[in-house]
A and B are shown apart, each in its own frame.
Chain A
Amino acid sequence: MLSVNVLLAVCLGYVAMLFGIAFIVDRRTRHRPIRWLQSPVIYTLSISVYCTSWTFYGAVGSAARNGLEFITIYLGPTLVFVGWWWLLRKLVRIGRAHRITSIADLISSRYGKSPSLAVIVTIIALIATTPYIALQLQSVTSSYQVIAGEVDAVTTAFWIAAGMAAFTIMFGTRNLDANERHHGVVAAIALEAIVKLLALIAVGIYATFVVSDGLGDVFASVPMERITGTNDIFGARWVVLTFLSATAIICLPRQFQVTVVENIEERHLATASWLFPLYLFGMCLFTMPIALTGLQVMPEGSNPDLFVLTLPLAEQRHELALLAYLGGFSSATSMVIVAAIAVSTMVSNHIVMPISLWILSANRAVSGDVRSLLLISRRISIGVILGLGFLYFRFSGGSDALAAIGLIAFVGVAQFLPSLMGGIFWRGATRSGAITGLLVGFMMWAYTLFLPSFGGDFVLSLAALEHGPWGISALRPQALLGLTGMDPLVHAVVWSVGLNAFAFVIVSCLTDQDMLERLQATLFVDVYRSAGGVPASFAESEANSEDLFVLAQRILGAGPARGLFDEMARAQDLDSGLPHASDDVIARLERELAGSIGAASAHAMVSRIAGRQTVGLTELIDIADETQQFIETSRQLAEKSAELEAAAQQLRDVNERLRALDSQKDDFLSQVSHELRTPMTSVRSFTEILKSDAGLTPDKRERYVSIIHDESMRLTRLLDEILDISRLESGPVAFPLAMIDLNQAIKSALDTVAGMTESTAVDVKFVPGVAQANVAAHTDRLHQALINVLSNAVKYNNAEVPEISVQTSSAGNSIFIDIADNGGGVKREDAVMVFEKFARGHHTGPDVGAGLGLPISRAIMRAMNGDLILDYKPDGTSFFRLLLPLHEISA
């Protein structure tokens, strides 16, 4: 027989080792995160706290009694993790964005940071966890009894509960983490997860291949009923159990703790999505073989719940039995530690904290350290939780199968499901709906499942159980309203979860949300869209930085509070001292505190000091985002269509211009033809006369020849001009530029024009604005341009006595030659046209050129880095201005 002393020594050594690991990890993590401890594998192993002693011992018992049914408890979590993308990811994202510390915190935070909701969820969680804790006590007690022989179960259970309480207090409440994370505990339960998996597989291999002769032997003489149970295995119970286990992996306070709160990186979920189901798969692989082998080998009437332990013992394999015991012990302790931490956090944050707040506000003289108060309240809560577990164990008689007790807890926490799912997927879910649903579900659970589990020893008597209270049979707890012929578990689930969801939906539809609730609803449902509750509020604040700092010190501790406030002060560009109590600071502080004491309490505490509702501008914008997106999109669309409109208009303009240019080109061609044709015609006709009429007088002949000569000269000049302009316009033309005296050039041009216009008397005035100006120009070309403009001024002048004034002036680096005349000038609408080729103005006289003068002149001026423009004086008369870059002025 395995000695009790050895067993106790091994267990104590094991616990000491776990504690050592947790201690070292906690201490090292405080300085710098340990890389491998933040791996997805550790995260997955910590989630396997799901496998308690119910799995370790109870699954085999369940398999021995009901066959394959036990597997539903692992199929539900498998489905939830396989579908992690759709639910768990959102929960984790919300948990991180809002610094969620527990499932009570999540639900209360979602429904407007409601303290009453937090209290309700906490109480339900506390009561629902009780049977589960009792289950662990029972399994550890029974397994101890197996080895130690007949000892008093109640006394043993009491000492085990006390030991576990001490253990959990040491583990979980040594300090307060700002994010409610326990790296040390996670490391310890990860190790325990490995121990329990190895132990179960070792026992499984031993049972299958040593006790039996391989898998074939195990199943050889097993009838179908052993596998499928006596009832229809794939029936309502199968579905309900899968549903319950799927719910439990989300709603159990300890699962929420390890999956959501202790999550370090969202991407770890991806690994857990297959690794955790694989772990469960491994845990279940040998359940059936162990159960079947136990049924064959063990004597009639032995408890199948303990086959994992009794099978090796019966075969005198003590070291294997010790390993199995440690595995069971690991399963129980890891569950108790995490569950007690999770629930005690909820109790202290949501029940103790508000009460102490109330006391503090009632008596301002009391200024206790909230931090130590929190720690103490957590320690007491842990004691209370284990005490309740012990009491449940004592009163329920401790005789039920492990699985049945576990399922009571599952149905209890399943009451959170409607509020939770509604909260994160349905924006319209209201606080009243959640409270009503939770209360209705909780009462139905207590009445149909929890109270009957005491078997008539607690509140409900045996008679009331069988015939209904006061003999009203419609109120029988396990056949409510005469609903019989159903498995009690299925019956309880249908009534509690069903009515819960029903009440939740109906009341939500009938009630309204307040401001904060609507805000939180949007932030939770649209968590992927918002960046999280980032500061910037609009509300008035009368907070005092000192008060806020004191509050932060009390909850976060002096060091972290100092660090936080220094950081916020730096953000405000303050070198020393406390930051101003701006809205940013208050909202940031509330978020930091929420990580320690939950959103509702943090909100209440900060609001008490700051005296306001913390509704962030950013958060409001997040709500408005959807609308804003539409507005923004339509605004962009409007802009785009305006741009398109403008582009189309430009295209139309360009097209118009192209048409004009095209018709100009046509005009040009016909002009050219016409211009060429006129002299050609006279040349031809005079040549024909000379040719055919031999009797012409020498006089006439002389005259005709000179006409032919003149016309061909005109033709040549025209062709020269056309060639000239096409050369000037086709690309940059380099004239050799020389420094010339501008005044001299103008005078010479005026002389030439005077010669040309001898027939008409022209009054030319030349006012040199600059006495001596040297410009870089080509003498002949400048001469040509000047003559073109000047002769234009004469040609298109209708005045009796044409007057031309030429004036030079300079401004900046340019020198201007302004040429004006007293003829009608150029109308503004013709301003562009005068520079077109073959344009001759409206009044065409007899002696007009081909209309190439101005375009050629402009091209010349541009080639000399100057320009020729048409400008208007203030009185509206037009004048031509030739510009040239100035090189030197001698005044």
Chain B
Amino acid sequence: MPSGNWRQGDRADGQSEINSVSENISPTPLRRKIRERSLALLIVGAGLLMPPLAGISLIDEKIAGLPITLIYIFLVWALLIAGAAFLAGRLLDSNQSALTSDRQPTED
């Protein structure tokens, strides 16, 4: 850990720094799990939307009047959005303190 005495910054800065240090050095298993899930979502999503996997949807058939290719792309897309929405809050919670905010009253 960086020694606190060396820094001239205020307490809050030092604190957030310690948090961010701990964020990078030792994410708890739960936090790491959530991050891994977000990465997995990205990789799976990209894989399904890119060739060659996306080619599996090239079937000249329709379901409920809609072409399968169209349904496939929009379905994967929707699932990606749902997954992102599901993970967004959890990722935030996983290191709340490390996220910075600008909402401090300014002097001028």
Question: Which A positions have Cβ atoms within 8 angstroms of B?
Answer: 33, 38, 68, 71, 75, 78-79, 81-83, 85-86, 93, 96, 214-217, 219-220, 222, 224, 227-228, 233-235, 238-239, 242, 264-267, 270-271, 273-274, 277-278, 281, 285, 288, 528-531, 534-536, 559-560, 563-564, 566-567, 584, 618, 621, 625, 628-629, 632
Q: Is the CB of A274 within 8 A of B54?
A: no
Q: Mark B66-107, 1 if CB is under 8 A from A, else 0.
A: 110110011001101111110011011000001111110001
Chain B residues whose C-beta falls within 8 Å of the C-beta of A536 in the assembled complex: 8
In the complex the two chains form, is B51's CB within 8 Å of A528's CB?
no
Closest 7 pairs between A and B when the two form their complex, measured CB to CB:
A216-B65, A274-B85, A563-B108, A274-B84, A234-B51, A83-B42, A270-B88
Question: Is B9 an interface residue when CB atoms closer than 8 A count as contact?
Answer: yes
The 9 listed contacts between A and B (C-beta, < 8 Å) are: A79-B45, A82-B42, A216-B65, A224-B69, A227-B70, A270-B89, A274-B81, A529-B20, A618-B7
Closest to B80 in A: A82
Question: Range of interface residues on chain B?
Answer: 35 or more
With both chains docked as a complex, state the minimum distance between the C-beta of B42 and any C-beta of chain A, in angstroms. 4
Query: Which residue from A82, A621, A629 sits with its C-beta under 8 Å from B84?
Result: A82
Q: Given the known inter-chain contacts A82-B41, A96-B100, A621-B6, please indicate yes or no for A228 contacting B69, CB distance below 8 A.
A: yes
* Known pairs A219-B62, A219-B66, A281-B77 / 6 extra A-B pairs, C-beta < 8 Å: A75-B77, A83-B39, A235-B51, A267-B92, A267-B101, A534-B7
CB distance from A670 to the nearest CB of B (A): 59
Chain B residue numbers with a CB within 8 Å of A81 are: 84
> Would you give the shortest CB distance from A81 to chain B, in whole angstroms?
7
> Contact: A224 with B84, CB < 8 Å?
no
Q: Does B64 contact A (CB under 8 A)?
A: yes
Does the CB pair B54–A265 fall under 8 Å? no
Which residue of A has the minimal Cβ distance to B8? A536
In the bound complex, how far is the Cα of B74 from the Cα of A285, in angstroms?
A: 8
A176 to B64, CA, bound (A): 55
Pair A79/B42 contact, Cβ less than 8 Å: yes
Which partner residue on chain A sits nearest B83 by CB separation?
A: A82
- For residue A531, which residues in chain B have a CB less than 8 angstroms away from its CB? 7, 9, 13-14, 16-17, 20
Interface centre among B8, B14, B23 (most CB of A within 10 A): B8
With a CB–CB cut-off of 8 A, which chain A residues contact B88? Answer: 270-271, 273-274
Interface residues of B (CB under 8 A from A): 1-3, 6-9, 13-14, 16-17, 20-21, 23-24, 35, 38-39, 41-42, 45-46, 49-52, 54-55, 58, 60, 62, 64-67, 69-70, 73-74, 77-78, 80-85, 88-89, 91-92, 98-103, 107-108
Chain B nearest CB, measured from A296 CB (Å) = 15
CB atoms of B3 and A270 under 8 A apart: no
Chain B residues near A625: list those with CB within 8 A: 2
Contacts of A217 in B (CB 8 A): 65
Which chain B residue has the least Cβ–Cβ distance from A227?
B67
The smallest C-beta distance from B80 to any residue of chain A, in angstroms, reads 5
Contact between chains at B107 and A563 (CB < 8 Å)? yes
Secondary structure of the B contact surface, majority rule:
helix
Q: Give Cα distance in the complex from A278 to B39, angstroms.
A: 19
Q: Whole-angstrom distance between the alpha carbons of A767 and B93 in the complex?
A: 82
CB-CB under 8 A for A534 and B9, given A68-B70, A222-B67, A265-B102: yes
Q: How far is the CB of A654 from chain B (nearest CB, A)?
A: 34
User: Measured between C-beta atoms, what is the minimum distance from A812 to chain B in Å?
Assistant: 43
Contact among B9, B103, B108 for A265, CB-based, below 8 A = B103
> In the complex, which of the residues B17, B92, B103 contacts A33, with contact meaning CB atoms closer than 8 Å?
B103
A50–chain B nearest beta-carbon distance, Å? 16
Q: Report yes or no: B99 in contact with A267, Cβ–Cβ below 8 A.
A: yes
Give A698 Cβ to nearest chain B Cβ, in Å.
95
Name the CB-closest residue of A to B84: A274
Say yes or no: A277-B1 contact (C-beta < 8 A), given A86-B39, A224-B60, A228-B58: no
Bound-state Cα–Cα, A564 to B77, Å: 48
B66 contacts A238, C-beta separation under 8 Å: no
Using Cβ atoms and an 8 Å threshold, which residues of chain A touch B45? 78-79, 82
Q: Are A75 and B84 in contact (CB under 8 A)?
A: no
Q: Which of B41, B70, B102 contacts A96 (CB 8 A)?
A: B102
Smallest CB-CB separation from B42: which chain A residue?
A83
Determine how close the nearest CB of chain A comes to the CB of B51; give it in whole angstroms: 4
In Å, the complex CA distance between A845 and B49 comes to: 105
Chain B contacts for A528, CB-based, 8 A = 20, 23-24, 98
User: Closest residue of chain A to B50, judged by CB?
Assistant: A239
Q: Which residues of A contact B82 (CB under 8 A)?
A: 274
Q: Is A75 in contact with B49, judged by CB distance below 8 angstroms? A: yes
CB-nearest residue of chain A to B108: A563
Are the C-beta atoms of A560 and B108 separated by less than 8 Å? yes
Query: In the complex, what residue of chain A is closest to B54 when comparing beta carbons?
Result: A234
Report whether B51 and A85 are in contact in the complex, using a CB–CB cutoff of 8 Å.
Answer: no
Complex: chain B residue closest to A96, CB-CB: B100
By a CB distance below 8 angstroms, the chain A residues around B7 are: 531, 534, 618, 621
Say whether, besides A68-B73, A632-B1, A238 and B50 are in contact (CB < 8 Å): yes
Set of chain B residues within 8 Å of A233, measured between Cβ atoms: 58, 69
* List of A residues within 8 angstroms of B21 by Cβ: 529
B100 to chain A, nearest CB (A): 6
Which partner residue on chain B sits nearest A628 by CB separation? Answer: B2
Most chain B CB inside 10 Å of its own CB: which residue of A96, A528, A566:
A528
A481 to chain B, nearest CB (A): 26
**B92 to nearest A CB, angstroms?**
5
Complex alpha-carbon distance, A96 and B41, angstroms: 27
B80, A238: Cβ atoms under 8 Å?
no
- In contact, A564 and B108 (Cβ under 8 angstroms): yes
Q: Which residues of chain A come closer than 8 Å to B60, judged between CB atoms?
A: 224
Q: Which residues in A have their C-beta under 8 angstroms from that of B23? A: 528
By a CB distance below 8 angstroms, the chain B residues around A242 are: 49-50
Contact of A264 among B13, B80, B91, B103 (CB under 8 A): B103
List, in ascending order, chain B residues with CB within 8 A of A78's CB.
45, 77, 80-81
Min distance, Cβ B74 to any Cβ of chain A, angstroms? 8
In whole angstroms, what is the CA distance A625 to B89 when docked?
31
> Which residues of B lie under 8 Å from residue A628 when comparing CB positions?
2-3
| Partner pick for A224 among B13, B41, B67, B83, CB 8 A cutoff | B67
**A285 CB contacts on chain B under 8 angstroms:** 74
- Once bound together, how far apart are the Cα atoms of A242 and B67, in whole Å? 22
A207-B39 Cα distance, complex, nearest whole Å: 39
Contact of B66 among A83, A215, A235, A560 (CB under 8 A): A215
| CB-defined contacts of A584 to chain B, threshold 8 Å | 8
Q: Which residue of A lies closest to B17 (CB)?
A: A531
Contact, CB under 8 Å: A265 / B51: no
Cβ of A622 to closest chain B Cβ, rounded Å = 8
Measured CA separation A446–B16 after assembly (Å): 45
B residues near A566, Cβ cutoff 8 Å: 107
Chain B residue with the shortest CB-CB distance to A40: B88
Docked-complex contact B2 and A629, CB < 8 angstroms? yes
